[in-house]
Amino acid sequence: MKRGKKYEAALKLIDINKLYTIQEASALVKKTSTVKFDATVDVSYRLNVDTTQADQQIRGTIVLPHGNGKTKKVLAVTMSKTAEAKTAGADFVGGKELLEKINKENWFDFDVIVATPEMMGEIGKLGKVLGPKGLMPNPKTGTVAVDIGKAIKDIKAGKVEFRLDKEANVAVSIGRVSFTETQLAENLQALTDAIVKSRPASVKGNFFKAAAIHTTMGPGIKFTFEGR
């Protein structure tokens, strides 16, 4: 595949045979952006897990120390905690009427749904609509919560979800090129620590096969860390 001049120039800054430290990789990724806009910084991990085994599925959330530069629109579905949801900064707050709006009008002007437990029966009816879009609230990701105010504040503060795909990869956006090296490094370290803690007990040998950080349309920078 033919690559552009900017990509080739960025690639020359990287030693492809080197495993950089988190600090080194966070500094270098800022120099390898190939676009004019404030590119997203993504990180991907290849894990040594068997995705066909139920006990080796990995999914979790973390509030990044500096957010990830993306502001999410939150839909709060609740009848008992509407005031708390509004105070916490939810973009839309309501009950059955908003679920009907989704179902009848194909309305999806939001990024995440947070709900109180009593609404899950109604939300479950839209499972075939919300599930494929990754919008179904789940207690494991903190999007079903009695304390809906805290759940919303966490999301607004930069809470991100990480989960394993079918090829045993985990990919997460951790910031933007405009972030400082320190902000990127601290976000990357926090995410890496969270994934290390999620290691299934049944996994033998090294948990990580590879890890790399890169910007939108930029080359990957392999890095290493404790706890691999």
Q: Which domain holds residue 174?
A: 10-68+159-222
Q: Are residues 149 and 185 in the same domain?
A: no
Report whether 69 contacts 40 (CB < 8 A): yes
Both tokens of 120, joined, read 């899950």
Both tokens of 76, joined, read 């709060």
| pLDDT bucket at 228, cuts 50 / 70 / 90 | low
**Does a structural domain hold residue 1?**
no
Q: Are residues 142 and 166 in the same domain?
A: no
Q: Are residues 62 and 116 in the same domain?
A: no
Report whether 60 contacts 99 (CB < 8 A): no
Report whether 211 contacts 64 (CB < 8 A): no
pLDDT tens, residue by residue, 74-95: 999 999 999 999 999 999 999 9
In this prediction the pTM is 0.81
Could you tell me what percent of the chain has a pLDDT over 90? 79
pLDDT tens, residue by residue, 154-175: 999 888 889 999 999 999 999 9
Confidence at residue 122, expressed as pLDDT on a 0 to 100 scale: 94
pLDDT of 149 higher than 60? yes
Q: Are residues 130 and 193 in the same domain?
A: no
Q: What is the CA radius of gyration of the chain?
A: 19
Confidence at residue 227, expressed as pLDDT on a 0 to 100 scale: 63
Beta partners for 86? none
Return phi, psi of residue 128, to 5°. Answer: -70, -20
CATH number, domain of 102, equals 3.40.50.790
**For residue 109, what is the DSSP state?**
-
